[in-house]
A and B are shown apart, each in its own frame.
Chain A
Amino acid sequence: MEDQEILAKFRDPAARNVAFNQLVRKYQSKVYWHVRKMVVDHDDADDLTQDVFIKVWNHLENFRQDASLFTWIYRIATNECLSFLGSKRRKFFLPLNDVGAELTAKIEADESLAGDEVEFKLQKAILRLPDKQRLVFNLRYYDEMPYEQMAEVTGTSVGALKASYHHAAKKIEQYINSITD
C-alpha cells in the first residue's frame, strides 16, 4: 500500500487502526534493523522499535509531509537510538569507548560471526566509531541511502555527511590494519 493511502486512511478515525497496522507491517523490518545496528542487542532494539512506532502513532496526524513518510520514520528512529545511547552513557557515567566496548562484547557473544575473522574485525571497528559517525556509516554502507535522504534523516548537510563517511571509512581501515599487523 502506498504511503499516501496509509495517511489518508489514518485520518479517518474508523480506519485508523487498520492504517497503522499496515504502516507497521510495511516499515517494521527496516526500523528494527536500523535500530539493531546501532544498539546491537535484540531486546534493546525491540524496545526502541516499539517506542518509535508509538511516537509515529502519536504524531502521524500532525505529519506535514515535508519529507517522505519513510524518511520521517527513519528520523524518529535515529533520534531514539542516539537518545538511548546518550542516556546509557550518562546513566552509567561511561566514556565513549566503554559503550563501544559493551557493544563489542555483544558482537563477540553473537554466534553469527563465528569463523568470519575479517567481518568480526570490521564489526569491532564500526562499533569504535562515535555514535553519529556510526549512524552515518550504517546508513551509507549497509542501507546504501542517498546522501540527500541521509541529510533529511540526520538534519546534516550533504557535504558534512560525505566527510563523516570518508573519515569513518579511513578509521575502520586503520583500525583493522593495526590489529592485523
Chain B
Amino acid sequence: MNKPFRLDEHRRRPQPPLAPPPDRYFEQLPTRLMQRVQTSAPSPAAWGWLSALSAPVRTALASGVVLGGFAASFLLSPPATIQPVATASLAQVSREEMVQYLLASDQRVTLTDLAELPGAAQSVPAGTLQASPDELQDLLDTQPTEETYL
C-alpha cells in the first residue's frame, strides 16, 4: 500500500515547475514598459496647468464650466413661439366664409345643437335678436317635432 501523501513531507520547490519565460524576457520587459508609459502619458502642455491646480480649485472650475454650459444653452436657444388661441383665430374668419364652410361641410347643425345653446344665447346682446320672445316661441312651435336638417 502506498504511503499517504503529506504536503509537509513533500520536497518544496521555490517555484512551481512551469516553463521559464522566453530568453531575455526580463531584459526586454523594462524597455517595453517604458514605451507603453511614454505613449499613454497625456501631453503635459495640454493638461499640465490643470494638474497644477489644487483639488478645490479644479472642482470649482468644473462647476463653473457646467453652469456656463447651461447658461449658454439657455441664452442661445431660439425663443418659443406662442401659438394663437383658437378663439382669436376664429374671430378673424368672416361671416361669409363661415356660412360657406357650413354649407359645404358634411357637418350639419341639428335641433339638438340649437337646444344646447341657451347658455351661449344668454350672452348674446338683446339687440342682435330682431324678434320678441313671443315671436320666437311661435316660430319654434311651427317647427316639426322630427329632427330635420337646416
Interface size on B, residues (CB 8 A): 27
A116 and B36: CB pair below 8 A?
A: no
CB-defined interface of A27-69 with B at 8 Å, one 1/0 digit per residue? 0110011001100101001100110011001000000000000
Other-chain residue from A17, A112, A172, A173 in contact with B19 (beta carbon distance below 8 A): A112
CB-defined interface of B3-41 with A at 8 Å, one 1/0 digit per residue? 011111010111111110110011001101110110010
Min CB distance, A10 to chain B, in Å?
Answer: 12
Docked CA distance A110–B30 (Å): 26
Residue of A nearest to B32 (CB): A50
Other-chain residue from A20, A172, A173 in contact with B4 (beta carbon distance below 8 A): A173
B15 and A25: CB pair below 8 A?
A: no
Given contacts A54-B40, A180-B5, contact A110 B19 (CB under 8 A): yes
Docked CA distance A9–B85 (Å): 75
Residue of B nearest to A45 (CB): B21
The answer to whether A12 has its CB under 8 Å from any CB of chain B is: no
B36 and A28: CB pair below 8 A?
A: no
User: How many A residues are at the interface, by size bracket?
Assistant: 35 or more
A17 and B26: CB pair below 8 A?
A: no
B40 and A49: CB pair below 8 A?
A: no
Number of A-B pairs, beta carbon distance below 8 Å? 81
Question: Using Cβ atoms and an 8 Å threshold, which residues of chain B touch A37?
Answer: 15-16, 18
Question: Using Cβ atoms and an 8 Å threshold, which residues of chain B touch A53?
Answer: 33
The answer to whether B73 has its CB under 8 Å from any CB of chain A is: no
A112 and B34: CB pair below 8 A?
A: no
A49 and B5: CB pair below 8 A?
A: no
Min CB distance, B6 to chain A, in Å?
Answer: 6
Min CB distance, B35 to chain A, in Å?
Answer: 10
CB-defined interface of A102-118 with B at 8 Å, one 1/0 digit per residue? 00000100111100101
The answer to whether B54 has its CB under 8 Å from any CB of chain A is: no
The answer to whether B100 has its CB under 8 Å from any CB of chain A is: no
Interface of B is mostly: loop
Docked CA distance A166–B16 (Å): 19
Q: Which of B6, B8, B18, B26 has most chain A Cβ within 10 Å?
A: B18
The answer to whether B105 has its CB under 8 Å from any CB of chain A is: no
Docked CA distance A120–B123 (Å): 104
Other-chain residue from B4, B6, B13, B29 in contact with A24 (beta carbon distance below 8 A): B29
The answer to whether B132 has its CB under 8 Å from any CB of chain A is: no
The answer to whether B2 has its CB under 8 Å from any CB of chain A is: yes
- For chain A residues 143-181, which have a beta carbon within 8 Å of chain B? 169, 172-173, 176-177, 180-181
List 19 other contacts, CB 8 Å, given A28-B26, A53-B33, A172-B7.
A20-B34, A24-B29, A32-B21, A32-B26, A32-B29, A42-B19, A46-B21, A50-B32, A54-B33, A54-B36, A57-B33, A57-B37, A110-B17, A112-B17, A126-B16, A141-B12, A142-B12, A169-B8, A181-B2
Residues of chain A touching chain B, judged by Cβ–Cβ distance below 8 Å, are 17, 20-21, 24-25, 28-29, 32-33, 36-37, 40, 42, 45-46, 49-50, 53-54, 57, 107, 110-113, 116, 118-119, 121-123, 126, 141-142, 169, 172-173, 176-177, 180-181
11 A-B pairs whose Cβ atoms sit less than 8 Å apart in the complex: A21-B34, A37-B15, A42-B22, A54-B36, A110-B18, A113-B17, A119-B17, A123-B17, A141-B12, A142-B16, A173-B6
